[in-house]
Structure 1
């Protein structure tokens, strides 16, 4: 949604593959146009590598999911177009996914949590989110800058390369 192009093949029970490539600007933070160009140059290869590493063929896919946001609009547009093109080519449904909820659902699935209260920290979002009876509720969130962006800005001021947090 910003600097990472990723694709995965999974079902309700297992993640079969995941392929990612990360945009690393030469200096400074993320330039949205440069990030979108990076996605454009990598998205097709990332998708096909994820499919080939999964042990399945593209014909086995039953649904295409893609991140519809939040994120950088130019990057989101590239991946949305790639997802739509693949769904049309394979004649399968497509569904847009809320990026933070995608991460949270994977965490719930992997931990077996039923109704957790979570601290979600990413580049652009820092939220306290509760899950109850199949619904999410944001209990609180930063109104100015997400913790991930703050760490990147501190690292940049200290002369470290992007991203500024732990690898």
Structure 2
């Protein structure tokens, strides 16, 4: 049985990312994080209404334990704070729009797992936008196509994880 992150542990982390004026008013666990917990933390008194918190707690990893693989191996799992931050930096450096990182911590002093607090890009799904505002959906798809083209143009002499190929 998997245990999800206790919502009592999230406010301190979100509070530290957003500042002393921020108050946590709610926490929702989001779907889609099969190797990490993904939470929307709703706030008041801060510059943002909500943030997303990623928690790489082992109890939130729904994948079966694999044989130990050297993290430098190209086929090693690419889950965790280091690969996440490396990918975020690389995409941002290419001009691809990615949510901003407000706090990243692997010390486990603030939180009992590696954790990242990132900007919450509010809004509905692309599918819903296509139903309600096809013109805006077309524009969003064009922007997505341009970003995918930028990523497609990136080549390396080696294959593998971004955090291993370009550390730091």
Question: Larger C-alpha radius of gyration, 1 or 2?
Answer: 2
Determine which structure has the larger helix proportion and give its number: 1
Q: Same fold (TM over 0.5)?
A: no
- The structure showing larger relative contact order (alpha-carbon pairs under 8 Å, at least 6 residues apart) is 2
Taking structure 2 as the reference length, what is the TM-score of the superposition? 0.26
